Amino acid sequence: MAPPTLKLQEISQHNSQTSCWVIIKDNVYDVTEFLQEHPGGSSIILKYAGKDATLAYEPIHPLDALDKNSPPVQFVGQVESGTAQVLHRERESRKKTKDDIRVEEAHKRKPPLSRILSLADIEKVASQVLSHKAWAYYSSGADEQITHSENTRAFSRFFFHARVMRPVGDCDPSTTILGFRSSIPIFASGAALAKLGHPNGEANITRGAGKEGIIQMVSSNASLSYAEIISVAVPPQVLFFQLYKNKVDAVAEKRVREVERLGYQAIFLTVDAIVAGNREADIRSPWILEDEESGVTPVWDENVLPEGVNINGTAGALVNNDAKDMSFEKTIPWLRGITKLPIVIKGIQCVEDAVSAADAGVDGILLSNHGGRQLDYSMPPMEVLYRLRRQRPDIFDRLEVYIDGGAYRGTDVVKALCLGAKAVGFGRAFLYAQSAYGEAGVAKIIQLLKREIVTVMQLVGARTVSDLKPEMVERVDWEPLTRSKL
Amino acid sequence: MAPPTLKLQEISQHNSQTSCWVIIKDNVYDVTEFLQEHPGGSSIILKYAGKDATLAYEPIHPLDALDKNSPPVQFVGQVESGTAQVLHRERESRKKTKDDIRVEEAHKRKPPLSRILSLADIEKVASQVLSHKAWAYYSSGADEQITHSENTRAFSRFFFHARVMRPVGDCDPSTTILGFRSSIPIFASGAALAKLGHPNGEANITRGAGKEGIIQMVSSNASLSYAEIISVAVPPQVLFFQLYKNKVDAVAEKRVREVERLGYQAIFLTVDAIVAGNREADIRSPWILEDEESGVTPVWDENVLPEGVNINGTAGALVNNDAKDMSFEKTIPWLRGITKLPIVIKGIQCVEDAVSAADAGVDGILLSNHGGRQLDYSMPPMEVLYRLRRQRPDIFDRLEVYIDGGAYRGTDVVKALCLGAKAVGFGRAFLYAQSAYGEAGVAKIIQLLKREIVTVMQLVGARTVSDLKPEMVERVDWEPLTRSKL
Amino acid sequence: MAPPTLKLQEISQHNSQTSCWVIIKDNVYDVTEFLQEHPGGSSIILKYAGKDATLAYEPIHPLDALDKNSPPVQFVGQVESGTAQVLHRERESRKKTKDDIRVEEAHKRKPPLSRILSLADIEKVASQVLSHKAWAYYSSGADEQITHSENTRAFSRFFFHARVMRPVGDCDPSTTILGFRSSIPIFASGAALAKLGHPNGEANITRGAGKEGIIQMVSSNASLSYAEIISVAVPPQVLFFQLYKNKVDAVAEKRVREVERLGYQAIFLTVDAIVAGNREADIRSPWILEDEESGVTPVWDENVLPEGVNINGTAGALVNNDAKDMSFEKTIPWLRGITKLPIVIKGIQCVEDAVSAADAGVDGILLSNHGGRQLDYSMPPMEVLYRLRRQRPDIFDRLEVYIDGGAYRGTDVVKALCLGAKAVGFGRAFLYAQSAYGEAGVAKIIQLLKREIVTVMQLVGARTVSDLKPEMVERVDWEPLTRSKL
Amino acid sequence: MAPPTLKLQEISQHNSQTSCWVIIKDNVYDVTEFLQEHPGGSSIILKYAGKDATLAYEPIHPLDALDKNSPPVQFVGQVESGTAQVLHRERESRKKTKDDIRVEEAHKRKPPLSRILSLADIEKVASQVLSHKAWAYYSSGADEQITHSENTRAFSRFFFHARVMRPVGDCDPSTTILGFRSSIPIFASGAALAKLGHPNGEANITRGAGKEGIIQMVSSNASLSYAEIISVAVPPQVLFFQLYKNKVDAVAEKRVREVERLGYQAIFLTVDAIVAGNREADIRSPWILEDEESGVTPVWDENVLPEGVNINGTAGALVNNDAKDMSFEKTIPWLRGITKLPIVIKGIQCVEDAVSAADAGVDGILLSNHGGRQLDYSMPPMEVLYRLRRQRPDIFDRLEVYIDGGAYRGTDVVKALCLGAKAVGFGRAFLYAQSAYGEAGVAKIIQLLKREIVTVMQLVGARTVSDLKPEMVERVDWEPLTRSKL
């Protein structure tokens, strides 16, 4: 049965909390009942009540999100074809904002990929070519961003005791993660909303990781659907899934079973983001745009932030429905009960919880403070790793330990491996790389890290990752000059 | 009997140390005998001898100060009505100084309150909208202001061992202070001269604190009378009193009995400001204004500072008559003898004195160095708290411990609570908030702190304040990058 | 017998190493034999051979230096009166250098003394009103000036454990040094060439110190004679003498006996400047002037520095004839044998030498690294004092301990006293004060320090200097923000 | 037999990988077979296939390199004389690049050598007069150059416990290295490609070192031949040889025997540069030039860096053929077997390897991380020396210990000697000195260091280097202000 065809005039009458329709591409949806469930709040939807919401919708939602959100979202019909063409033209001819123009110009001026020599180089390009909104969301950390910068600075306190006169000619940097092979001891850590930076979104990371032989962890909050992402993977390429557990167990279970069915190979249960961190740069972003560009309504505006309501920018929208009452005692057995995949806890921030995780029998822990985006003054992962190595070296025999947050260089990766980490995750770096150069950018940073890791391994006297030992690093008691950041 | 009516010509003849009359609004006072008792010195009064002193008087004195100062101040009569109108018009048409104009412009440009995201934001607005004199008085610290900035930096040395997988969905940040309920574990610490920043003065803080459910400590040097302030409190709102003890016991006793009678619920005896700190920015303030604005006589001028005389700006004026010979042995029993209110010592700066205070039987101690305004290189309160926790944990069972000075964030508050503080005081923050946005600004910063405190508690794994434990923080051995200040 | 009268033409023929005459004011001297003995080298004299050397001579030599230098210097006669007038006019009309003009302008713009609030304030004025040459000589330190700045930073690592509730109303900051009373626990430490900064030179310090009741230590290298200096002292004012021991014992003995006869009350034997420190700013100074002012010959020029010769600016000239082979075993008994005055060793830089000094039986030691002007990376005196207190507290009972170098504030002085120092010396501060404001500047900084010391003593809970105890300070393990320097 | 004479037309036909001829001065060489062996890759040669390559060849190759490279390089004949003149004129009239012009101007403006007061001064001049390419190669370090700057900062953590009252008048700073006399305890450490900075190249260093009585270590990668260099030495001047061991033992042996025959007195086996460090400034250098100067082809261009190939700028070219599988067990005995010269390992970076070296029986170790050019976060040599002194003081009795990297001052040298170093090497300093002032610059920095070392020895109380003791330095627990760098 052909769907009903609707005229703009009719649609425009459904413009209130009582009856709210929105146009996404050529389709019309009734979202009245969904208003209260929208993670980002109802205000942002009501701005488009009775209107075309396509441009606001596309950059941050998977294409199949509307299907998944049913039943509360109801498909009403299609825009009549003449109107559809008008809307299409209007979208095309939408007056570019100053920020749009700045981004276009920056893309023209960016250096050729062959001139990118480091992750910092690519981050710099990303800072120039990303929209203000995307940069604010990707780069921001909690409060004063102390932990964000301390994550990186923590690596600087570790110096090498390099060993010489060892045969390292045929250095091999490969390793395994949960038994799956990785060409170098790094992985793409979960990070949301890749489409904000590039229309191909997370698929850029999938393709680049596949080409270079590393594993990608896909976020619950990916801007492509989990099926779309895994569909571009080339077997035997491995993908892991980063689970933000919904407060309703059944909803969470459905998601876990879905990704297992799709072929994801491990569950990284995220525990450090049960509420939104205070990312002021992200919250402030729409105001800055608004000030820059009077006349153009920003996606976020002041009215979204009524006094006293706890909404924290993009991050706030994403975690609204997540569980805030998990426990080692209940949540891990529940998860074991619904999946046979290996389970890793992502977001361990102290030695005590590393021990609890081992006692709970998980397969791995990812020492992480969410890239400094959640709790400011959370101990940097490299420091937690160091304490774990000194206080409880037995834990490394009971599960695999990974870290993410703050790493930029092959030296950082090798230092963490010396202390017992199995691999090091990179989050923002992949968002930046795909935003600046798409899939090729993703491959590039893996190549750069590989070259750096191999060089460092050879220079510290290690032929394989198993040759990297705690005595090869020393935590120094002085403060090195901080590496220059962007 | 109607008061005498006086002509300007007659008044103007009383213009010397021998006979000194001044006009305040429509009244004429003989202050000849008061000249030597004025805490700010006689010179500042003599500048207005025989003239209208209203504009200099109003911003820093409670309305009832003249009544209280009697008998040395004598009411002489009223200005005749024609003259009163002339003086009124003259005051209205007083040529605005460049600083007045700067302040007016700044008020027009300040951001809407909804865009204020942190205490640092509101401090920045205050730095723009305050008069030079007010900013110099509020913001200045002793000498090079090392302790002023170290108070804040001290918090940066404490990192969290955040605990995950704990049920914190219904987080409750409330606590009690001396048995009185507080919606969050903070209070408004005593701070003088709120009228310098806003015509409603301390009442702004009272109303905002009442609305949000926290306790205000009112300074002896408030620019509104203690009665005026408590009159705007809404029962069961609680106010504490910050006592600067006069060197004459009888004068001090009178003040204590007055505030007890008015309904204040505790006495915070201030012991760290028996002499004035060396706040150079405050002392220098009138010169800067004078240089900027030739022709306009500043309130303070060079002649107020004769060689070799110990006068320290506004602070010096305020403490001239305070006791400099207090002791635990004499002063606490004396105070116990004249009031039944709980007694807290404000200004404890080392472990030894915390013990002495406990031995003296007081109900609480406020670890404070007066916001870095008194002794430069006084140990930051957070460091004193840390030493107290390590060296004498028993003290926390014998009395309540608070700290103030340097806190800006929910993280700061939660760190102090982990180490055993019952609550954290904020001083300048409330002055800045009321100066920039009046009562609404005060409520705003309490809301901001509440949101931050709840978020931090949830992210470190605490459902109530009693879940915050010393092992949740570590004093790190490196120097984090300092948070950006104004 | 009237001295011979000489014509310019005759004088001008004695213009070589073989026969070298110079004119100083109206007198003509034959300095041929003195050329090789001049501490500053012969080149600088030969520039004026057969000419008027008055302007180069006056700012750095005592008026009686020529008398003292006899016999190698021989008085030849007087310039004939017509020529003398011509020379006088030429000196008067000497074209002012750009630096002269800058200095004159700076003196006009300097703030009134009543606006000077701290030693840093007066140092800033001095940096503006001093000639480039004088500033370079006064302010410079060795090499990168690390020790120069570390001397000051060392104080910043000590924080107070302030005690409250102690009777300090009638605080008394006076003390004794070698039994002589001092109104506050500071003294003017030896510093050379005060006339470079002010025509009255060292006498400014003598008068200011006398007025305010502190003791001045006079340098061997004073630019006024020792007799001139003590002649302006008002009994019972006390002066000490800083001895740079000549390599010839007899010459040194003559100097010691002279100052004892003149009434100086102690000998401070200087041991940290046996060779010149590498003060690059001082060495570089004439080149900078030369570049600035082409056509005007600088006092120092490149030719004075032949390749490979060890000459170190002004400092090098001053120490050329000093003893480089002193020892505790020989030098102290020798000195005891020629004077009955108390002996203090100035320049002790480690605990071991403090012990050696005590064993050698001297009356005091001045922990000093010559204000960072000699050995870069010499341990700051405050750190040496701290080590001495911890490692050898018995030394404080065997002799008096002083420190100098880096102190700016009352807090610095009180910290040193807490650790056992009897008094704190100030060197550059007095040169700066007298350069900027003459005698009044000297009195001013003593008053400022007195006010600061009294305030700090009261705020830490000390009524007298004997109440200051080691437990009142703690050497903290973090790095405070460095106080702003000039 | 006279070599064949070739016309340009004929030569230009050999312009491909199949047949590649190049002109160097008047000679024509067939380098077809050498293309794959060229350490810098074939692309850079192919740019000049069939053309005049003189200008690219000269600055980085010894004059006899072509002879040594035979047989793969074949001499074909000489350019006919008319063509030779044309080529000569073309080279002369080559359009100067902007960088050439900048360098010429900088040489005109540089200060006279007599105004150079320190190594930092001469480094500053070098930074101005060096070509961009040379500066990038000389000054660059690995990654963020943390170790490069930490090498210098490490010295700053050591302060002196200066001893006074010791006879140091006739201070003697001389020492021996491997039994050979050195006027001061420093040596010129191996550094490549001196011709990049000055046409006389390494010979400048040889002559300056000879004049001032210190020892030069000559790099395998010198831009003059080993014979040319030693030919300018004046007996009994001593030269050491820095060996980069070729991966083919026979090739390495040939080189060792050659230098022994030429008269070099020791072998410094380099072990910290088996692969190229990541010197981004060096890699980036040609792009910067290219951007600056469109139209002029840079020596390095983007095509040299195909994706994924591990080429690291100039450094990469130099180490391509070096051994990557050395070991203490095999390499040292092999070396002992082919030479009777003393053997020193250059590039020891931790205590464990210092012990291994002693166990392997070498004569000395040079604690070095290649001036921070190889492994970023390698422990600074001064810190390794400090650990060696504390953990294994016995090693200093078993072999001689030297350090290089980061030293700028006499204080640095004396600190290292206090801890047991026999001498301190300077690398970049000599490249900078000869680049800026040729041979005279080299002599100058030795004189400067001598003056500084003598002054420091006298001021710490040491008459000879054997008087320098570990107790004379203390590693302080605070961070001194970093000395200003270029």
Query: Does domain D119-475 bear CATH number 3.90.1150.10?
Result: no
* Segment C191-215, tens digit of pLDDT: 888 999 999 999 999 999 999 999 9
Q: Does D109 touch chain C (CB under 8 A)?
A: no
Cβ neighbours for D269, distance < 8 A, ≥ 6 positions apart? D243, D245, D331, D335, D343, D344, D345, D346
User: CATH top-level class for B5-93?
Assistant: alpha beta
* Helix/strand/coil for D170: coil
Examine the residue annotation and report whether C226 is marked as an active-site residue of this protein: no
User: Which residues of B have a catalytic role annotated?
Assistant: 244, 272, 370
Give how far the C-alpha of residue A34 lies from the chain's centroid of Cα atoms, to the nearest Å.
Answer: 25
> How many percent of chain C have pLDDT more than 90?
67
Alpha-carbon span D158 to A15, nearest angstrom? 73
- Supply B118's token pair: 């942190």
| Residue in the block written with tokens 């440009």 | B109
Contacts 24+ apart (CB under 8 A), D309-314: D310/A451, D310/A454, D310/A455, D310/D276, D311/D41, D311/D276, D312/D276, D312/D277, D312/D278, D312/D279, D312/D282, D312/D283, D313/D137, D313/D140, D313/D276, D313/D279, D313/D282, D313/D283, D313/D285, D314/D137, D314/D193, D314/D279, D314/D282
Task: Give chains near B: 3+ CB pairs under 8 A.
Answer: A, C
**pLDDT at position C302 over 70:** no
Contact across the interface for A156 and D377, Cβ inside 8 Å: yes
Q: Is A351 exposed, middle or buried (0-12, 13-18, 19+ CB in 10 A)?
A: buried
Cβ neighbours for D485, distance < 8 A, ≥ 6 positions apart? D120, D149, D152
Instruction: Find the residue in C nearest to D415 (Cα).
Output: C377
- Supply D125's token pair: 């001049």
Contacts of D345 in chain A (CB under 8 A): 164-165
Could you tell me which of C338, D344, D320, C331 has the C-alpha nearest to residue C346? C331
* Segment D94-123, tens digit of pLDDT: 888 889 999 999 999 999 999 999 999 999
Instruction: Find the residue in B nearest to A325 (Cα).
Output: B167
The beta-strand segments (E) located in B128-183 are 158-160, 175-177, 180-182
Of residues B146, B275, B287, nearest to C156 (C-beta)? B146
DSSP D187-254: EE---S-GGGT-TTTHHHHHHHHHHHT-EEEEETT-SS-HHHHHHT--TT--EEEEE--BSSHHHHHH
Query: Angle between the C98-109 and C280-292 helix axes, to the nearest 10 degrees?
Result: 110
Indicate the average pLDDT of chain D. Answer: 89
**pLDDT at position C244 over 60:** yes
Amino acid at C180: F
**pLDDT (0 to 100) of residue D82:** 85
Q: Does B109 touch chain A (CB under 8 A)?
A: no
Alpha-carbon span A438 to A205, nearest angstrom? 8
**What is the 8-class DSSP label of residue C20?**
B
**What is the 8-class DSSP label of residue D466?**
G
Alpha-carbon span A44 to A61, nearest angstrom? 14
Contact across the interface for C159 and B287, Cβ inside 8 Å: no
Give me the interface pTM, i.e. the ipTM: 0.89
Q: Does A383 touch chain B (CB under 8 A)?
A: yes
Contact across the interface for C411 and B377, Cβ inside 8 Å: yes
Could you tell me which of A354, A352, A370, A484 has the C-alpha nearest to residue A427? A370
Examine the residue annotation and report whether D244 is marked as an active-site residue of this protein: yes
* Helix/strand/coil for D258: helix
Rounded to a whole number of angstroms, the distance from the CA of A271 to the nearest CA of chain B is: 6
Contact across the interface for A411 and D376, Cβ inside 8 Å: yes
Contact across the interface for C115 and B287, Cβ inside 8 Å: yes
Least confident of B35-44, C104-113, C254-263, D198-207: B35-44
Amino acid at B54: T
Amino acid at A291: D
**What is the 8-class DSSP label of residue A94?**
P
Amino acid at D124: K
Contact across the interface for C117 and B310, Cβ inside 8 Å: no
Cβ neighbours for C409, distance < 8 A, ≥ 6 positions apart? B143, B144, B376, C118, C119, C155, C452
Mean pLDDT, residues A65-86: 78
User: Which residues of A have a catalytic role annotated?
Assistant: 244, 272, 370
Q: Quick check: A484 and D145 in contact, CB under 8 A?
A: no
Query: Residues spanned by CATH 3.20.20.70 within chain C?
Result: 119-475
* Helix/strand/coil for C436: helix
**pLDDT (0 to 100) of residue A67:** 64
| Interface probe, candidates D113, D124, D164, D454, chain C, greatest C C-beta count within 10 A | D164
* Helix/strand/coil for D160: strand
φ, ψ dihedrals at D329, nearest 5°: -70, -40
**pLDDT (0 to 100) of residue C3:** 81
* Bridge partner residues of D401 (DSSP): D365
**pLDDT at position A299 over 50:** no
Query: Angle between the C146-156 and C381-391 helix axes, to the nearest 10 degrees?
Result: 50
Q: State which H helix or E strand residue D440 sits in.
A: helix D428-460
Q: If contacts are CB pairs under 8 Å, which of residues 142-171 in chain C contact chain D?
A: 143-144, 146, 149-150, 153, 157
Q: If contacts are CB pairs under 8 Å, which of residues 448-477 in chain C contact chain D?
A: 477
Contacts of B272 in chain C (CB under 8 A): 162, 164, 459
Contacts of D213 in chain C (CB under 8 A): none
Alpha-carbon span D188 to D175, nearest angstrom? 15
Kindly list the distances between the CA atom of residue D146 and the CA atoms of A404, A457, A482, B118, in Å, as whole numbers in the listed order. Answer: 22, 18, 8, 35
Contact across the interface for C375 and D477, Cβ inside 8 Å: no
- Supply B173's token pair: 């940040």
Contacts of C480 in chain B (CB under 8 A): 146, 150, 153
Higher pLDDT, B190 or C58: B190
DSSP B213-232: T-EEEEETT-SS-HHHHHHT
Cβ neighbours for C432, distance < 8 A, ≥ 6 positions apart? C119, C122, C123, C125, C126, C127, C130, C138, C197, C441
Instruction: Find the residue in A nearest to D331 (Cα).
Output: A165
Alpha-carbon span C207 to C234, nearest angstrom? 8
Alpha-carbon span D365 to A476, nearest angstrom? 23
**pLDDT (0 to 100) of residue B439:** 96
**pLDDT (0 to 100) of residue C58:** 80
Alpha-carbon span D401 to D346, nearest angstrom? 10
Q: State which H helix or E strand residue D301 sits in.
A: none
Cβ neighbours for D20, distance < 8 A, ≥ 6 positions apart? D14, D30, D31, D32, D35, D45, D46, D49, D50
- Supply A135's token pair: 């940069």
* Segment C429-480, tens digit of pLDDT: 999 999 999 999 999 999 999 999 999 999 999 999 999 999 999 999 998 8
| Residue in the block written with tokens 């025999």 | A397
Could you tell me which of C366, C343, C372 has the C-alpha nearest to residue C353? C366
Omega prior to D236 cis, within 30 of 0: yes
Confidence of residue C327 (pLDDT cuts 50, 70, 90): very high
Query: Residues spanned by CATH 3.10.120.10 within chain C?
Result: 5-92
Q: Does A311 touch chain B (CB under 8 A)?
A: no
| Interface probe, candidates C245, C278, C302, C309, chain D, greatest D C-beta count within 10 A | C278
Which of these is catalytic: C29, C137, C138, C244?
A: C244
Contacts of B352 in chain C (CB under 8 A): 161, 163, 471
Each residue's pLDDT, cut to its tens digit, for chain B (486 residues) gives 678 888 888 998 999 989 999 988 888 988 888 887 776 677 778 888 998 888 888 877 776 667 655 567 888 888 888 888 888 888 888 888 889 999 999 999 999 999 999 999 999 999 999 999 899 999 999 999 999 999 999 999 999 999 999 999 999 999 999 999 999 999 999 888 899 999 999 999 999 999 999 999 999 989 899 999 999 999 999 999 999 999 999 999 999 999 999 999 999 999 999 998 999 888 888 777 666 665 443 333 333 343 333 345 566 666 778 899 999 999 999 999 999 999 999 999 999 999 999 999 999 999 999 999 999 999 999 999 999 999 999 999 999 999 999 999 999 999 999 999 999 999 999 999 999 999 999 999 999 999 999 999 999 999 999 999 999 999 999 988 776 443
Pairing of strands B186-188, B423-426: parallel
Could you tell me which of D434, D445, D406, D444 has the C-alpha nearest to residue D196? D434
Contacts of C149 in chain D (CB under 8 A): 481
Q: State which H helix or E strand residue C319 sits in.
A: helix C313-319
Contact across the interface for B115 and A302, Cβ inside 8 Å: yes
Q: Quick check: D408 and D120 in contact, CB under 8 A?
A: yes
Kindly list the distances between the CA atom of residue C197 and the CA atoms of A313, B145, D191, in Å, as whole numbers in the listed order. Answer: 62, 31, 49
Of residues A328, A374, A379, nearest to B161 (C-beta)? A379
Indicate the average pLDDT of chain A. Answer: 89
CB B82: neighbour CB atoms within 10 A? 10
* Segment D1-37, tens digit of pLDDT: 678 888 888 888 999 889 999 888 888 988 888 887 7
Rounded to a whole number of angstroms, the distance from the CA of D121 to the nearest CA of chain A is: 23
Examine the residue annotation and report whether C377 is marked as an active-site residue of this protein: no
Task: Give chains near C: 3+ CB pairs under 8 A.
Answer: B, D
φ, ψ dihedrals at D6, nearest 5°: -120, 145
Instruction: Find the residue in B nearest to A348 (Cα).
Output: B164
| Interface probe, candidates D165, D468, D469, chain C, greatest C C-beta count within 10 A | D165
φ, ψ dihedrals at A145, nearest 5°: 65, 30
Pairing of strands A400-404, A423-426: parallel
Alpha-carbon span C357 to C350, nearest angstrom? 11
Of residues C115, C167, C480, nearest to B150 (C-beta)? C480
Contact across the interface for B458 and A277, Cβ inside 8 Å: no
Which of these is catalytic: D14, D61, D132, D370?
A: D370
Alpha-carbon span C403 to C177, nearest angstrom? 12
Of residues A149, A280, A383, nearest to B481 (C-beta)? A149
Q: Which CATH architecture has domain D5-92?
A: Roll (3.10)
